[in-house]
Amino acid sequence: MRTLIGTAPETTSPCEPRRAGSGRTDRLARRGWLVPLLVACGQLAFSGAAEAAAAKNNAPVEAAAKPDSAPSAFELQLLYADRTWNWKNGAAYFGMDRRLHAWTKGEDSPAVGEGRWLVTEKGKMCMELAWRSKTYSTKPQRTCYSHRVEKGNIEQRKDPDGTWYDFKHAKDDPADEHQKFEAGNTKGAQFDETRKLVDSKG
């Protein structure tokens, strides 16, 4: 059943004349408006068919022009959760409970970072870490990385204006940044040692 704004509900198409009244007078009275109504209905039907054909023809163009989407939060979770990201001079562990532990040798002294990590539906992974060493400590600082899917591969960049680079190919590539990830807390011992060193009074 279709309801038109400003009219009572109709159980039939607006282009179908009502069947009430079967007398000759009624048929003659209806004859004057029936032809224009049928013409109008025909024009509407033709117009709808034309629009449908145009939409069908334009669909491939719109699909081709649509940019590839960012990974979902669930997909990012699979890339990071319970994994260790190895850096040149340290590492970070992304816990299943969203806790984040990191350590670095640093240029001057070892340091540890503790905080949390999160992912968004817009393809971002953010780390919030408070760093400390024997000589300094910081408030929690947020660092975010954006991800996008290009031709089936995931690219990453550091926000807000870093350069996009290969993060993970559909088929693993040795040059991928994700190759630096290891399953599990593989550098937990180094983190504990660095934390003890940072927190020691000696």
Query: Rounded to 10 degrees, what is the CA torsion of 14, 16, 22, 24?
Result: 100
Give the domain ranges of the chain.
Answer: 1-66, 73-199
Angle (CA) 107 111 115, round 5°: 135
Q: In what order do the strands lie in the sheet with 165-168?
A: 165-168, 153-158, 141-150, 124-132, 111-119, 99-104, 90-94, 83-87, 181-183
Q: What is the pLDDT of residues 72-83, one digit of tens each?
A: 999 999 999 999
Percent of the chain with pLDDT over 90: 55
pLDDT band at 172 (very low <50, low <70, confident <90, very high): confident
**Amino acid at position 176, single letter:** D
105 or 23, greater pLDDT: 105
User: Are the CB atoms for 92 and 102 separated by under 8 Å?
Assistant: yes
Peptide bond into 60 cis (omega under 30): no
The average pLDDT across 169-184 equals 92
Q: Is the pLDDT score of 185 beyond 80?
A: yes
pLDDT band at 201 (very low <50, low <70, confident <90, very high): confident
Q: Is the pLDDT score of 202 beyond 80?
A: no
What's the mean pLDDT when you consider all of the chain?
Answer: 75
Q: What is the pLDDT of residues 106-157, one digit of tens each?
A: 666 899 999 999 999 999 999 999 999 999 999 999 999 999 999 889 999 9
**Amino acid at position 79, single letter:** L
Q: What is the pLDDT of residues 83-105, one digit of tens each?
A: 999 999 999 999 999 999 999 98
pLDDT band at 170 (very low <50, low <70, confident <90, very high): confident
For residue 132, CA distances in Å to 48, 100, 109, 188, 196 come to 67, 14, 10, 17, 12
Question: How many other CB atoms are found less than 10 A from the CB of residue 78?
Answer: 12
> What pLDDT does residue 23 have?
45
